[in-house]
Structure 1
Amino acid sequence: MVKVDEPDDDTACLMLRGLKSRYADHHGVHITDDAVRAAVTLSRRYLTGRQLPDKAVDLLDTASARLRMSLDTVPQPLTRMKAQLTALAMEKQALLEDIALGNSARGDRLAAIEQEEIRLILALDTLETQYGQELQLTEALLACRRDISRRGGN
């Protein structure tokens, strides 16, 4: 068995800098040098079961993957509102079927559902507009970073 000592923080940072571009390309995110140093420092402090640079590489990989997922995932409030609208539409359809069969005792609930649908549609429209604007800004920022990287200004 060959025993290899754990590198110091500066050496681990140097090793991660060599891998940084591969992880950035793989996940489609920009990884700053501050992120590399933080990965080394924080992994040394909080991940005690393993050694550098392995634990810092895993931390950087996980952080990059989570960032990519947050960029690609629709925000939870939007998803929740769409689910509420779907549930209301299903309930409304069931009530309309009951009313068509002569059970009009729940007509007040139908009016409440329609009001709630209007409220949710307006709120959803506002959130979708905001999310669309934020997404455009994020895409513009990422395009600028790619352009700067292509020009050699890493």
Structure 2
Amino acid sequence: MGATALIIAIIIGATWYILANRGSDDEQQIRDVVAAETTALNNRDLAALIGTRCSADALLLQQQFTAQTFAAEIDSTLGPSGRWKVTVGQVRIDADAGTATAEETTVPIGSASIVAQTITDTATLRKESGGWKVCVSSSSVR
């Protein structure tokens, strides 16, 4: 009987620990959208990038680029084989306002162009249509 109680206590404790340390669903969604944004940039995929951005940013991207000019812009910034590695640090969410910030560290990988340094900034996100979107137009670089 004592061994059974001990096993149940261990299972309950482990479950509590996992749930307490996994982060909120909003935080995970934010981390996922930043990862999707990075993948879109690395793939030079304008349509995928637009899908990760708030409506204001999406409109600006559609007005400014075609798929070809977007890919050329990324290539001129990073070089044809360059890509970004983005690490998301602390995420702060204001659920009432539907906004969030995420500390990001961006490192160019394989870059053969003007970008040669690590950049740390704070991305601003907005909740639109039930999902988190990156809003570069309201982000600030430190």
TM-score, structure 2 as length reference: 0.32
Q: Look at both structures and tell me which one has the larger radius of gyration over its CA atoms.
A: 1
Larger relative contact order (CA 8 Å, sep ≥ 6): 2
